[in-house]
Chain A
Amino acid sequence: MQQNAPSSEPIVSLRDVQKSFGSLRVLDGVSFAVARGEVLALIGRSGSGKSTALRCIDRFEKVDGGEIVVCGHRVDRPDVNLRALRQDVGIVFQSYNLFPHLTIEQNITLAPCAVKGMASSHAKDLARKVLAQVGLEEKLHAYPEQLSGGQQQRAAIARSLAMQPKVMLFDEVTSALDPELTGEVLKVIEQLAADGMTMVMVTHEMGFAKGIADRIVFMHRGKVHETGPASILTSPTTPELTQFVGTGNLKS
């Protein structure tokens, strides 16, 4: 699956990241790095801290300690340029979060026009291009509520792609979808991986993670419990991961 050889400088790196919500320690010294072109899957039980770790990368959560560097931005520092960071990082959410008052085209062109100052005609061409990438060209003028969940999520991916991010984050993007619709979204993500996009994804789809990820990070109680290539899912070394993949999570 890996197309480009990972360069020495990681796109995303977390070092000893600490994060608490009140007295609950959600991240307890989390470290991992993602190289250019690499696909990293964050897996683990609910409450293991995987979604929080992902959200810290785009600074939707502020960390209490440790170091996060994303595309050269020191995300852990209070003076980080958030708008510059978020032009380099695309994020796709579980609940799609398309803007319901705008058409799909307007959803996609909004940020390129407003943030990058792109001309409207140029942005519309771009919208067509990214929608073609996710197989939704015919939905250009539809409103989000007219689309199925899977289509909405693909449109949300297209919206994120239009900002030409250097790394994309996926936060349980198929968890709100039934299995039939999950497939069409996963296919889009697979294509992105094949095109060499750097990606970090939180997922419950173990079969998918196994097929697409260059590396797996298994989180347990706020720590990176086990990490390695996708093969660790079939031959885990820790009892926790053994139990996690053994509970019927590894399908297909």
Chain B
Amino acid sequence: MGGHLNINHLMFLGQGALWTIGLSLIALIGGGIVGFAIALARISPLKTVRIASGVYVQLIQGTPLLVILFLGYFGLAAIGLKVSPLVAAGASLTLYVAAYLGEIWRGCIQSVPKPQWEAGEGLALSRTQRMMKVILPQAIRIATPPTVGFMVQIIKNTSLASVVGFVELMRSGQIVNNSLFEPFAIYAIIAVTYFAMCYPLSLFSQRLERRMGRGGSNLAPA
């Protein structure tokens, strides 16, 4: 590469953007699965499970994602586990996202009114049946807007994976800039691209929230 910004550079940036989306999906799916387990663990009837999951959430939320990424990449290498940038970034983001989604979802599950649990109990439903058939369907409705909103954070945070050499949108921008030395133009393109990915999600989240508000709380008077 070299000279002026051309179609090849843009293709390279486009590829980086695709990896940003890919890494975001990995983080969302991995973090969603682990986060769901965390949410359930946080409201477990077993005290040790509640405490252990609480400690996990506090540890992750109290650590910068950048540090988690370094630990994932260099830390694992130091103890003899050589992992690719994709694996290191994917795993680190999964752990990070899980801590946040776990807390968001725990709040959503707990915001389903307690009498709903009691009604399920009164009908002899088991704890699992109450969770699956009564509580979660209601919690998912509550959880959708904040979860979509959090996806915006995930997309933006994947840019940090550039520090472990994972070539996503940010890193591809750095690489192109290294040959062109047009930082303002290139990072402007990067910024617009991130915005184009995040803004629709923000709008979607807001719309979901409004729709939930309009639907109103269909909870019986207490």
Q: What residues make up the interface of A, taking CB atoms closer than 8 Å to B?
A: 58, 60, 82-84, 86-87, 89-91, 93, 95-101, 110-111, 114-115, 143-145, 149, 152, 159-160, 163, 176
Contacts and interface: CB of A to CB of B under 8 A. Distances in A.
Nearest to A152: B220
B124 A97 contact: no
Do most interface residues of chain B lie in helix, strand or loop, or is the interface mixed?
Answer: helix
Interface of B: 115-116, 118-119, 121-126, 129, 133-134, 137-138, 141, 216, 218-222
A74 B174 CA distance: 72
B137 A97 contact: no
A99 B125 CA distance: 13
Contact of A101 (B118, B122, B138, B222): B138
A100 B221 contact: no
Contacts of A97: 115-116, 118-119, 220
13 contacts: A58-B122, A60-B121, A87-B124, A95-B222, A98-B220, A99-B116, A100-B218, A110-B133, A111-B123, A114-B125, A144-B218, A144-B220, A160-B122
Given A93-B115, A93-B119, A114-B133, A100 B219 contact: yes
Contacts of B221: 95, 149, 176
Contacts of A83: 124, 126
Contacts of A152: 220
Given A144-B218, A145-B218, A101 B125 contact: no
A84 B116 CA distance: 20
Contacts of A115: 123-126, 129
Nearest to B124: A86
A83 B221 CA distance: 27
A57 to B, nearest CB: 11
A147 B141 CA distance: 21
A208 to B, nearest CB: 21
A58 B221 CA distance: 22
Given A86-B123, A111-B123, 18 more contacts: A60-B121, A82-B121, A83-B124, A83-B126, A84-B124, A86-B121, A93-B119, A95-B220, A95-B221, A97-B220, A110-B123, A110-B125, A110-B133, A110-B134, A114-B125, A144-B220, A149-B220, A159-B123
A100 B126 CA distance: 19
A100 B138 contact: yes
Nearest to A100: B218
A115 B125 CA distance: 6
A149 B222 CA distance: 12
B141 A101 contact: yes
B120 to A, nearest CB: 8
Contacts of A110: 123, 125, 133-134
Nearest to B116: A97
Contacts of B218: 100, 143-145
A114 B122 CA distance: 13
A86 B122 contact: yes
A143 B218 CA distance: 10
Nearest to B136: A101
Contacts of B219: 100
Nearest to B129: A114
A19 to B, nearest CB: 17
Contacts of A87: 124
A83 B120 CA distance: 11
Contacts of A60: 118, 121-122
Contacts of B138: 99-101
A84 B221 CA distance: 30
Contacts of B121: 60, 82, 86
A144 B138 CA distance: 14
Contacts of A58: 122
Nearest to A92: B122
